[in-house]
Chain A
Amino acid sequence: MTRGFKMLTFQAAALVGSAMIMLTLSEMTRAAPAPAAAAVQIDNFTFKAPLTMVKVGTTVTWTNGDDIPHTVVSKDGVFKSKVLDTGDRFSFTFAKAGQFGYYCSLHPHMTGTIVVKA
């Protein structure tokens, strides 16, 4: 008997808990729209979208598809990835409008620009 009672209590608590989580989630969804995302693929020693236009708040993700490591480094020191080996990714969220030039610090002839609009 005691065991059955305890289990019931546990189930009730779990129900209340999950309801609270759902409530929190729905509030979050309402408060912030799904974040914008953009991707830049790195292939053949080239940033495949050398000029990328995004809105403020967009998270840009670079993925290295080469057999040779690359980096993604802002010309103005705004962002800097670690070394990206094959398949590695680097993401940065652009919170301000502006033009952000970047390059690969290993192969500096590789360049690109992210244009962020309000």
Chain B
Amino acid sequence: MFDADHENRRDFLKCMAWAGTGALFTFNAGIGSSIGLDSAIAAPLRRTGTKPFTFVQLSDSHIGFNKPPNADARATFREAIAKVKALPVQPDFIIHTGDVSQLSRDDEFDDAEQMLKDTGLPVFFIPGEHDMLDPEGGKAFLDRFGKGTKGAGWYSFDHKGVHFVALVNVADLKPGGMGNLGAEQLKWLAADLAGRASSTPIVVFAHIPLWTVYADWGWGTDDSAEALKLLARFGSVTVLNGHIHQITQKVEGRIAFHTARSTAFPQPAPGTAPSPGPLKVPPEQLHSMLGITDAMFVRGHQPIALIDSTLSA
């Protein structure tokens, strides 16, 4: 799939299957597919002649959460980090897509920071709404994890030819609304993208989904359409979100959307419960509903591959 020049499509289709512990998603020209994890890890990258890079997405660690179904969100975050350290190919960096803490307390941020340091990897953060709860509405988070960022904590950076954009959609939320980017950030985004070649692969990350997963629970971003309009001309755009503590995917034009699992607790599928509160699964099920996402880039090729794996794997 990465290696469309060498693999014939029939062979690829033959190995299309779900793996028990995770799946690999590839997106190419708007067509999303999944293949088994085992076949994905097996060799095709060797033949591209370009060294690929990977990064890991962690999300919704909610350090400090201690209620059913997870009495210790610190412990499960530690397990997620052990999983990152055990990856056969060490990622270039980690992105954390928000809700680092449960209540924005210093000890929660401290513990998250210490545990992440253990990986020895650079970490890029954006805040979730749980990280905005200090009296100054997010200053504690920004002082620690958002140095050098703009506005409520947005920024961009380049890595091996891929442009990464970190957006904040949990600041200054409007009554009755969902996530919100705001005019100032959208203006910054337009300037940030202007002048970049449409062939530049783009990865956008933000806490709340940038498409409407379920409006009744506020699972969307009111002004995301304006951001997506700015991204539409690029050949490969991947949007990585958290917030909803479960995997969902969608492909729209050349934009692939993906939400990651939490490392703390699962939430119900849209509309399947009276509220989006924690899904109180039995202890033996919990680890199969928490996880991390490993993202893989192959330079010179369009697709990004996302491998979600659970903590029970």
Which residues on B sit within 8 Å (CB–CB) of A45?
A: 217, 275-277
| One of A69, A102, A105, A108 near B102 (C-beta < 8 A) | A69
B179: nearest residue on chain A (CB-CB)? A108
Q: Is the CB of B176 within 8 A of A103?
A: yes
Q: Is the CB of A44 within 8 A of B175?
A: no
* Contact surface of A with B, Cβ cutoff 8 Å: 43-46, 66-69, 71, 75, 82-83, 85-86, 101-103, 105-109, 111
Instruction: Offer 14 A-B interface pairs, CB within 8 angstroms, sorted by A.
Output: A44-B277, A45-B217, A46-B275, A66-B277, A67-B68, A82-B135, A83-B103, A86-B67, A103-B175, A106-B133, A106-B173, A108-B175, A109-B216, A109-B218
Which residues on B sit within 8 Å (CB–CB) of A46?
A: 275
- A-B CB pair tally, cutoff 8 Å: 57
* Contact surface of B with A, Cβ cutoff 8 Å: 67-68, 102-104, 129-130, 132-133, 135, 173-178, 215-218, 274-278
| One of A43, A103, A106 near B130 (C-beta < 8 A) | A106
Q: Is the CB of B277 within 8 A of A67?
A: yes
Q: Is the CB of A67 within 8 A of B67?
A: yes
Which residues on B sit within 8 Å (CB–CB) of A75?
A: 175
Which residues on A sit within 8 Å (CB–CB) of B133?
A: 69, 71, 83, 106
Which residues on A sit within 8 Å (CB–CB) of B274?
A: 44
Q: How far, in angstroms, from A85 to B67 measured CA to CA in the complex?
A: 11
Q: Is the CB of A111 within 8 A of B68?
A: no
Which residues on A sit within 8 Å (CB–CB) of B175?
A: 75, 101-103, 108, 111
